[in-house]
Structure 1
Amino acid sequence: MDVLLRVLRVSATKEILKGVTLFIVGATPVFAIPMHMMGLISMAISARYIVLPLWLIAISLLLIGRTYTSFWGGRGFIAGLLGVAAYEGMRMPFVMAGIWSDFIPRLGGLIIGDGHPNTLIGYLWRWVGDGGGIGLSFFLACCLLERTRFRSILRYPFMLSLGYGIFIWSGLLCTVCFTSTGARMLFVLTPVNFTLSLSGHLIYGAVLGYFLRRTVGFQFRYPVASHLRHQPTGELLET
């Protein structure tokens, strides 16, 4: 019995470390932007030597073993992709109308390092890195939170997710307003794009909230799922 408990503790510790690692990795693409704008590290360097290697590790962690942590991480990544799709559905009409300048191609140029706008790389970073990444981080934070005494906060997944969207939006505003190149490389803050950017992040948060509510109340198809909710120790076995 002591040996079994020891094995369970080791497995639980591994799952917690896995969750923390995925949380950090998911946040790296969005944090690379203000780091560049503050002149600390260029996006070209962070993309090649930090973000890309860490994301390869994250993909491996998500694919190795169908654990409770992997389940939450996968749901968060998908929710993030759908969230940014909804955001883009709101944003693009204003971009095409010339009301809001499209700064995403400029980010692509910063990632490549040549300074020339690159639409493909910019949007790949926005969708997979920013959208999917911060969705991954948010769901992993909720996954870890569920195993603590503070898990009662997950009773309000929609409001929690909207708050997260506002938190991410506040980071964007700080990057635009308080860094040396933020306004030039992203956009100059006006009442119009202030409102539009807030609306977009609320839409993103709403999509995360929908998925989070379904994830928290999800009835797993696995016989050990109820045990894994509180002891994330083993792999999920298909019935």
Structure 2
Amino acid sequence: MSITRTVPGGVARRFQLFLLAAVGALPVLGISAHVFGVADLHATAVYVTLPVWLLTFAVLVWKRESSSVARIAVQGAALGIVAVLPYDALRLPFIVTGYWPDFIPDVGGWAVGSGHPDAVLGYLYRYLGDGGGIGLAFVCGCAILGLRRRLPLLAVLYGCGVWLGLIATVALAPHGQQQLFHLTPATLVLSLAGHIVYGVTLGIACQQMQKIRDRGRTATQVPSRAARSVPAGTSSAPSPFATARQAAPDSITSTAPVPSQGEAAHQRRQRSVQATASPHNGSSQAPAGAQSHVARPRPRPGPVPAPHPAG
């Protein structure tokens, strides 16, 4: 499917999706900027990320019923939040056993500027910011590029790309390993596995949502096609003034063949000749050459005269 068909509205609509993808990347970029020492996470979270996210969320909620971009963005953020759950389910046993130190509470302390770990704010930032933002960026990117197939595979590759960014931050930042986690074979494998799980979950969820949208679109197109097949000014329902044959042409059928115009005229001429030759046509005159069978009245006899005497 082409980009213009996937994202109706052309360049302006794609630009809106690009802006939403950039908004989704703000929380992750804020952590990288803090670890590299470019900008404090408290400043970027309070003065950049939070206002932009609140404004974006308000616009999306306002336009979610009339804008396809708003629906795509809301679904992407929601699916990204859901995809963090299996990722943390994979991390939890290693965190509880102390095998993998948890740096998420430190992120919460950086966000509020206290310098002390805050697990509640840290995991809120992780789920709403990192998970929701990464999911939002992925869905908007797929909509811009018109990617509709093999979404689980694309999401896994996307998750691996996010993992490469995390490892680059840990390895290249001056104090990356002290602030986040130490790079060991175990942490490399576990962090990669977590991002793969995140990608698989996000991709499967996006694929299912795409199927639901396609079924809904098909269900709305079928009645419209049926309506377009009916000529203008007509109705699919029978008219109340139609005859029985017109109102129910399938239930009332005739097996007699329909005569042509010439045959119909010939039949009318035959009926006219037969009506003329019939003796019961209402005429009081008999045909020529025929004897009348009407009984004539006989004359009544008069009185017999008396005989004269002989003289």
Do Structure 1 and Structure 2 share a fold, with TM-score over 0.5? yes
Quote the offset at 1:16 in angstroms: 2.6
2:20: which partner in 1? 22
2:216: which partner in 1? 221
Please give the TM-score of this superposition, normalised by the length of structure 2. Answer: 0.64
Query: Which one is further off, 169-178 or 60-69?
Result: 60-69
Q: Supply the distance in 1 between the matched residues of 2:26 and 2:123 (Cα, whole angstroms).
A: 16
Change (3 A) 1:86 1:192: same
Q: Which amino acid aligns with 1:221?
A: G
1:33: which partner in 2? 31
Please give the TM-score of this superposition, normalised by the length of structure 1. Answer: 0.83
Quote the offset at 1:222 in angstroms: 5.5
Q: Which amino acid aligns with 2:102?
A: D
C-alpha deviations, 1:77-112, integer Å up to 9, x for none? Answer: 121111111101110111001110010001111111
C-alpha deviations, 1:60-82, integer Å up to 9, x for none? Answer: 23112222212221221121111
Alignment length, in residue pairs? 211
2:136: which partner in 1? 136
C-alpha deviations, 1:16-64, integer Å up to 9, x for none? Answer: 3321221111100001111111111110100011100110122023112
> 1:155 is paired with a residue of what secondary structure?
coil
1:55: which partner in 2? 53
Report 1:59-138 matches (<5 A): 59-65=57-63, 66=65, 67-138=67-138
Query: Which one is further off, 61-70 or 35-44?
Result: 61-70
Q: Percent identity of the aligned residues?
A: 35
Report 1:179-198 matches (<5 A): 179-198=173-192
Change (3 A) 1:52 1:224: farther
Q: Supply the distance in 2 between the matched residues of 1:158 and 1:145 (Cα, whole angstroms).
A: 16
Cα contact 1:75–1:211 (8 A) shared by 2: no
Q: Which amino acid aligns with 2:155?
A: S
Quote the offset at 1:225 in angstroms: 7.7
Question: Higher relative CO (CA 8 A, sep ≥ 6), structure 1 or 2?
Answer: 1
2:283: which partner in 1? none
**Unpaired stretches in structure 2, ≥5 consecutive residues:** 1-7, 222-311
1:206: which partner in 2? 200
Cα contact 1:108–1:118 (8 A) shared by 2: yes
Quote the offset at 1:136 in angstroms: 0.6
Change (3 A) 1:125 1:225: farther
Aligned-pair Cα RMSD in Å = 1.9
Q: Supply the distance in 1 between the matched residues of 2:19 and 2:131 (Cα, whole angstroms).
A: 18
Cα contact 1:18–1:61 (8 A) shared by 2: no
Q: Which amino acid aligns with 2:182?
A: V
- Which of 1 and 2 has greater Rg? 2
Structure ranking higher in helix proportion: 1
Change (3 A) 1:109 1:80: same
